[in-house]
Structure 1
């Protein structure tokens, strides 16, 4: 049971990660047909005691279709020919996703344009209107 550091205050246990290995698709010759180099990582967000509720909620939004209805994030890596490299890559992706979920988004404060800004806008519209009206045929 080793802890994987995510941020200074959050770490997840390696026991919370469930990894399974399958054969990777694509070209690669005879070696590919005999080794299970692709990694499928499953992480149960709801059952993780180390994540705060707010982080779990943001993580669910970030994960999108990579999260099942049961609240399990499923990530797959088969880019490298080595199982070890694929394991490292998929774990890094999960950690980066959790780090991104720890960032609290700033609340948007609605603003209104100032009176001077409104006046400048109306002045610009009036100038443009006069330019366009002068493009017409001259009146006798």
Structure 2
């Protein structure tokens, strides 16, 4: 499922640290992207609720999902990285989780476990000190 989020992402730029020499001090290459989950026209109400629950740690007080990138030396590269990260986050958030099927231990595994416990108890019993009168 591919949703075109780019239209709804608000981009903000700032100066980033790292490589770039003198360029770092004068060019705003770091890009932050903000996406309003509540205000999105692309998502259904159910999807919004699921995303708000799953991505709660990444959503700020104003209800915006914030992603930033400063790995590339160009603003364009960082903008593309923000879009990629945003898509990945939202797709992962909307992915259905597989339900776990409860299983029981097999008879052989139970026997192995009990056998191992008996062996361990024999080892420990062998460490006991004996008194001469016994």
Which structure 1 segments of 5+ residues have no match?
Answer: 1-6
> Greater share of helix residues, 1 or 2?
2
1:109 and 1:17 map into 2 onto residues whose CA distance is: 39
CA drift at 1:27:
5.5
Contact 1:59 1:97 in 2 (8 A): no
- What TM-score results when the alignment is normalised by the length of structure 2? 0.77
Which residue in the other structure is 1:107 paired with? 99
- Alignment match of 1:63 (pick from 44, 55, 58): 55
- Alignment match of 1:41 (pick from 33, 48, 53): 33
2:20 and 2:108 map into 1 onto residues whose CA distance is: 67
Which residue in the other structure is 1:3 paired with? none
- Alignment match of 2:24 (pick from 32, 43, 52): 32
1:119 and 1:27 map into 2 onto residues whose CA distance is: 61
1:124 equivalenced with 2:116 (yes/no)? yes
Which residue in the other structure is 1:87 paired with? 79
Higher relative contact order (CA closer than 8 Å, sequence separation 6+): 2
Q: CA RMSD in A?
A: 2.6
In structure 2, the CA distance between the partners of 1:103 and 1:35, relative to structure 1 (3 Å rule), is same
Q: What is the count of residue pairs matched by the alignment? A: 132
1:17 equivalenced with 2:9 (yes/no)? yes
Which structure 2 segments of 5+ residues have no match?
Answer: none
- What TM-score results when the alignment is normalised by the length of structure 1? 0.74
1:99 and 1:64 map into 2 onto residues whose CA distance is: 15
The C-alpha deviation readout for 1:95-118, integer Å capped at 9, x for no partner, is: 111121232111223333345543
1:136 equivalenced with 2:128 (yes/no)? yes
